[in-house]
Structure 1
Amino acid sequence: MDLFSRSWAALRAAVADLADEDFARPSGCAGWLVRDLVCHLVIDAQDVLITLVTPAASEPTHTAVTYWRVTGTPPTGEDPLDALTVRLAAAYGDPRLLAFHLDDVGSAAGRAAELADPGLRVSTQDMVLTAGDYLSAYVLEWTLHHLDLIAHLPGAAEPPAESLARARAMLEEIAGAPFPASWSDQDALRVGTGRRAPTAAERAELGPLAAKLPLVLG
């Protein structure tokens, strides 16, 4: 849960450091500008708040790893919810209003996470998890989206090293195999989730794992 707080704080700080013109740059999410991604983060923060106050009486059905559903279809930005996110982001007009909303709702989500009992059972998307597992799952979400945020922003602050390492470990558990040890955590996460295609040399290094990629998480 501490890693949730650190990865989330780092991501929000990266958004706070954006210049106004950066919101109109492309992000690492297909079909989304940076402003669209930031709007998605507002929705994510709302989901965290909602889930942490939605207790469940039954036993957990999922863990931080099995929380993630894997599909073979990369997003295009044309999904109805994705399209709605784009319209919502454009409606803000002034990017500072969007950044303020993320800071406001995001800070509340961060405080709620710090106050949550790790053993509390919560319900979301027809799943039951402990609050600890639910928040751990979001370390992968925050880390991937931090990479998406800075994909076309040279010099921007990167995710914390411990967040990258934990996100990579989770992705390897989802994949059922490790990525090459020589790869950086960023390369493993970007190639593993289809954010960039592997080079011919990288594909050879992946071996049988290459056939499983990309791991599109939903």
Structure 2
Amino acid sequence: MDLFARSWTALRAVVANLADEDFTQPSGCAGWLVRDLVCHLIIDAQDVLITLVTPAEGPPTRNAVTYWEVAATPPTRDDPLDALTVRLAAAYQEPRLLTFHLDDVGSAAGRAAELADPRQRVGTRGQVLTAGDYLDAYVLEWTLHHLDLIAHLPAAAPPHPESLAWSRAMLEQIAGTAFPASLSDKDTLLIGTGRRAPTAAENAELGKLAAVVPLVLG
């Protein structure tokens, strides 16, 4: 849960330091500008708040790893929620309004995470998890979106090394096998989730994994 706070704080700090012109740059999420991704983070923060105050009965049905489902194809952005995100982002008009809203809701989500009992069972997406597992799953979410946010902003701060290492370990559990040690944590996450294509040399090192990636997480 400490890593949740660290990864979320680092991601929000990058957004807080964006220049107005950065919001119109492409992000690492195909079809989304940086402003669209920031709007998505606001929705994510709302989801965290909602989930942490939604107690659930019965034993957990998912954990931090099985929370993630692997889709057969990458998102096309035709999904109604994706389309709504783009429209909402444009409606803010001024980047400072997006930044303010993320800081407001994001700070609340961070405080809720700090106050949560990690053993408490919560419900989300029709599943039951402990709050600790739910927040651990979100370390991967924050880390991937941190990489998405800075994909075309070379001066922006990268994710914390611990967040990258944790997320790599989680992705390897989802894949059911380790990625080559020659790949950095960042490259493992980018290649493993389809955010960039492997080079010929990387593809050779992936071996059988080359037929498995990308893992489209949802």
Q: Same fold (TM over 0.5)?
A: yes
What SS does structure 2 have at the residue aligned with 1:190? helix
Any idea what the Cα deviations from partners look like across 1:108-141, whole Å, max 9, x if unmatched?
A: 0000000000000000001100000000000000
Task: Report the counterpart of residue 151 of structure 2 in structure 1.
Answer: 151
Q: Does the 8 Å CA contact 1:172/1:179 hold for their aligned counterparts? A: yes
| Cα distance in 2, alignment partners of residues 77 and 184 from structure 1 | 29
Taking the aligned partners of 1:149 and 1:28, their CA distance within structure 2 comes to: 6
Distance 2:2 2:137 in 1: 13
- The offset of 1:72, in angstroms, is 2.2
Aligned partners of 2:178, 2:72: CA distance in 1, in Å?
19
- Note if 1:39 corresponds to 2:39: yes
Partner of 1:79: 79
Distance 1:35 1:58 in 2: 39
After TM superposition, give the deviation of residue 77 of structure 1 in Å.
2.0
Contact in 2 for aligned 1:72/1:214 (Cα 8 Å): no
Letter of the 1:48 partner, please give it.
Answer: V
Please tell me the residue identity of whatever aligns with 1:83.
A
Equivalent position SS for 2:154: coil
Contact 1:34 1:149 in 2 (8 A): yes
8 Å contact kept, 1:45–1:109:
yes
Quote the residue 1:175 is aligned against.
Answer: 175
1:200 CA displacement: 1.1
- Work out the number of aligned pairs and report it: 218
Cα distance in 2 for partners of 1:111, 1:97 equals 21
- Which residue is equivalent to 2:13? 13
Find the counterpart in structure 1 of residue 214 from structure 2.
Answer: 214
Residue 155 of structure 1, CA deviation: 1.6
Q: Which residue of 2 aligns with 1:138?
A: 138
Corresponding residue for residue 63 of structure 2: 63
Using structure 2 for the length normalisation, give the TM-score.
0.99
Equivalents in 2 of 1:89, 1:184: separation in Å?
A: 33
- Unaligned stretches of 5+ residues in structure 2: none
TM-score normalised by L of structure 1: 0.99
Task: State the secondary structure of the residue aligned to 1:128.
Answer: strand
Deviations 1:74-128 (CA, angstroms, capped at 9, x unpaired): 1222221111100000000001000000000000000000000000000000110
5+ residue gaps, structure 1, are none
Identity of aligned residues (%): 79
- Which residue of the partner structure matches residue 199 of structure 1? 199
Asked whether 1:29 is paired with 2:29, we answer yes
